Amino acid sequence: MQDLQTTDLSQQQGEAIFGQIAELSAQTFRNIDLSATLVEAAQVLLLKNTFPQDAAEFTPEFVANTLFPKAVTRVFTAYQMDCFRFCLAKTQDPEISEDIAQEALKLLLQSPNKIDCVGAWLMQVTYNLLCKHYEETQKEELMYLKLSLEATAYEKWLMSGDPMELKELSPDVVDLLLKTEEYRQYHELTSFDNLKEYAAAQNITTKVAQKRKEKIYRNLKSLSLRLMGWKDTPAILDNKQYSAMRKFMRELLKELRGDEEPDWLNLLSPEHKEAVKRIRHIMDWNISMTGERKFKLPIFTIFEDGEPFLFTFNITLSERNSVSIQDCKVNKHIESFKPPENFRIPIDKGRAMLSYEDIMTLLKMYQKTD
C-alpha cells in the first residue's frame, strides 16, 4: 500500500479501507476482477487530497458511498478512453470510436463469464466490434481484413499468453517480423520444451533465463505493435528503450530535488519553471512516437495541494538509447472541471462517459438476466 502522506490515515486504517474496497468490488462486479484496479484508483483519489483530512471521517459508510463510487467512475472512464483512443488510431473516425468504446464497456458489464484481465478483454472486444462495423457497412474492406487478421492473434497473445500465431497477422507484418533479430531470439527460445532446457543450452541459470525471456517477449511485442501502426503506448518501447525512459524519469526527479537547476528548465517560462520544481513524484506517463527515434513524453503528477499538473518532453533516443531533450512545455489546460447540474452529453454524441449510477444500473439489469 502506498504511503498516504496527504491524509492522517494510519497504516492500519488504510489497509482496512482498501480491504473494504476490494470486498465491495468482489460483491459488485461478480464476473469482473477489478479489486486491484479499484484499490489503486482509491489510493490515487486519497493522494489527490480531495477528501477531509480527519481520519475519523473515513468510516465504512464513507468508503461505500463516496470513495468506492469515485474509484469505479475513475476506472471505467480510463477504460472507455483507452478503447476510444485505440479505435481512433485505427479508424481516424471520432464518432465511430466513441460508439464502439461505449459499446465495449456495456459488453464488459453484460459478460456472463469470469474476466480476469479486463484490459486485454476490452482490447479483444474492441477489435471484434470494429470488424463487425466494417463488415456490416461493407466499407473499408482492407481495414476489415487487417483487423480480422490481427484480432485472433491479439486474443491469444494478450489474453492467454500463448505464442503468437503469425499466420493470423497480416502478411506484410509477418514478412517483416520473420526477418528480424527479435523474432529469431523468440523462435530460439520457444523451440525448447521449457525454460529449464533453454537455460541449460545457453549455460545460464533459470533465473537469468526468465529475465531474458521477459526481454525477448517485450522486444517482439514492441516491434509487432510498431509494425501494425501503434504509436501511443509505452508498449511500443523495446526493453532497452523502456529502461532508458524509466532511468530518465528517475534522474529527472533527482535533478529537481538537487541544488543546481538542470539546463532544460531554461526552456520554460519563470512561472512554469517554478511549478515544475515542485514535482516530487511521477504518478503517470505515456509515450507517443513522432518520428524515427523521436517521442513525446507526457508526465503527470499531482502537487501536495491537490493541483493536477501535466508537462511534456519532446525527446530523442540515440542508437545507444541515451535520452536528449529537444523541448519541453507545460500543458496549461489540465484541471478539475465540474459540469453544471442537469448537464448531459447525449449518448450518441461526443465521448459520453458512464456515470457510477449508469454503471450500477446496467450491471443490475444484466445480472437479473443471469
Q: What is the mean pLDDT of residues 25-32?
A: 90
- 2: cell is 502506498
Question: Residue 126: its pLDDT value, please?
Answer: 87
How does pLDDT run across 123-139, given as a tens digit for each residue? 888 888 887 776 665 55
Contact in structure between 152 and 165 (CB atoms under 8 Å): yes
Contact in structure between 34 and 321 (CB atoms under 8 Å): no
Q: What is the mean pLDDT of residues 209-222?
A: 89
Give the confidence band of 368 by pLDDT, cuts at 50, 70, 90: low
Question: Residue 189: its pLDDT value, please?
Answer: 92
- AA identity, residue 196: K
Question: pLDDT above 90 covers what percent of the chain?
Answer: 23
Please determine, for residue 243, whether its predicted confidence score (pLDDT) is greater than 90. yes
Q: Which of 107-111, 194-198, 331-335 has the highest mean pLDDT?
A: 194-198
Q: How far is CA 236 from CA 64, 167, 364, in A?
A: 38, 21, 38
Q: Nearest CA to 68 among 50, 49, 45?
A: 45
Question: Residue 337: its pLDDT value, please?
Answer: 43
Higher pLDDT, 110 or 120: 110
Give CA–CA dist 64/213, Å, rounded.
42
Question: Residue 259: its pLDDT value, please?
Answer: 78
Please determine, for residue 343, whether its predicted confidence score (pLDDT) is greater than 70. no
Higher pLDDT, 65 or 268: 65
Contact in structure between 74 and 29 (CB atoms under 8 Å): no
How does pLDDT run across 199-210, given as a tens digit for each residue? 999 999 999 999
How does pLDDT run across 246-304, given as a tens digit for each residue? 999 999 888 888 878 888 888 888 888 888 888 888 888 888 888 888 999 988 887 77
- 95: cell is 464518432
Please determine, for residue 348, whether its predicted confidence score (pLDDT) is greater than 50. no
Q: Nearest CA to 174 among 230, 231, 227?
A: 227
| Residue found under cell 474509484 | 71
Question: Residue 316: its pLDDT value, please?
Answer: 93
Q: Nearest CA to 128 among 110, 144, 109, 114?
A: 144
Contact in structure between 321 and 241 (CB atoms under 8 Å): yes
Question: Residue 166: its pLDDT value, please?
Answer: 59
Ranking 140-144, 233-237, 312-316, 365-369 by mean pLDDT, the lowest is 140-144
Give CA–CA dist 153/169, Å, rounded.
7
Q: Nearest CA to 327 among 312, 308, 337, 314?
A: 314
Q: How far is CA 7 from CA 41, 302, 303, 305, 318, in A?
A: 16, 14, 14, 12, 42
How does pLDDT run across 31-57, given as a tens digit for each residue? 898 998 999 888 888 876 656 556 677
Ranking 63-77, 95-109, 129-143, 244-258 by mean pLDDT, the lowest is 129-143
Question: Residue 68: its pLDDT value, please?
Answer: 93
Question: Residue 345: its pLDDT value, please?
Answer: 41
| Residue found under cell 541515451 | 322
Please determine, for residue 156, whether its predicted confidence score (pLDDT) is greater than 60. no
Helix/strand/coil (H/E/C) assignment for every residue in the chain: CCCCCCCCCCHHHHHHHHHHHHHHHHHHCCCECCHHHHHHHHHHHHHCCCCCCCHHHCCHHHHHHHHHHHHHHHHHHHHHHHHHHHHHHHHCCHHHHHHHHHHHHHHHHHCCCCECCHHHHHHHHHHHHHHHHHHHHCCCHHHHHHHHHHHHHHHHHHHHCCCCCHHHCCHHHHHHHHCCHHHHHHHHHHCCCCHHHHHHHHCCCHHHHHHHHHHHHHHHHHHHHHHCCCCCCHHHCCHHHHHHHHHHHHHHHHHHHCCCCCHHHHHCCHHHHHHHCCCCCCCEECCEEEECCEEEEEEEEECCCCCEEEEEEEEEECCCCCEEEEEEEECCCCCCCCCCCCCCCCCCCCCCCCCHHHHHHHHHHHHHCC
Give CA–CA dist 312/252, Å, rounded.
13
Q: Nearest CA to 36 among 49, 23, 54?
A: 23
Please determine, for residue 84, whether its predicted confidence score (pLDDT) is greater than 70. yes
Ranking 24-38, 119-133, 206-220, 237-251 by mean pLDDT, the lowest is 119-133
